[in-house]
Copies of this chain bind each other. A is one copy, B any other.
């Protein structure tokens, strides 16, 4: 995990369609060596996968919200139940004003309400507090 690996990761985060020849030139290695390093980064799980960044609004996901979930029991094991709700993008166990924090995306307020109804059906949930996003300033990948 040296500096060259970090450069490669940065370059691929910007644009994963870059050729190994370009990557190699950018970091001062041959195409083969760059390929080998990236292969190992994948193998080690540092690079989880190659994916695309999609404009959610273009897919009809107009409303983004964060939901603070209160529970009367340990909720670290409710991951599967929450993952079963397709609109939930992230779920974290938190230290603070609630037990779990969700990031959700729905097509509208009505669907957000439906989603909250589903959250309440998860065992142990006693309440929710929803923070609606008015405008996203940016969402990016860290270098």
Is A66 located at the chain interface by the 8 A CB criterion?
Answer: yes
Contact pick for A59, options B46, B64, B82, B92, CB 8 Å: B46
Number of copies of this kind of chain in the complex: 2
Given A135-B76, A137-B91, A51-B12 contact (CB < 8 Å) = yes
Q: How many chain A residues touch the partner (CB < 8 A)? A: 60
Closest to A47 in B: B52
Q: Contact: B51 with A95, CB < 8 Å?
A: no
Q: Contact: A51 with B143, CB < 8 Å?
A: no
Q: Give the interface of A toward B (CB within 8 A).
A: 1, 6, 9, 12-17, 44-56, 58-59, 61, 64, 66, 76, 78-79, 82-83, 86-87, 89-97, 100-101, 105, 130-143
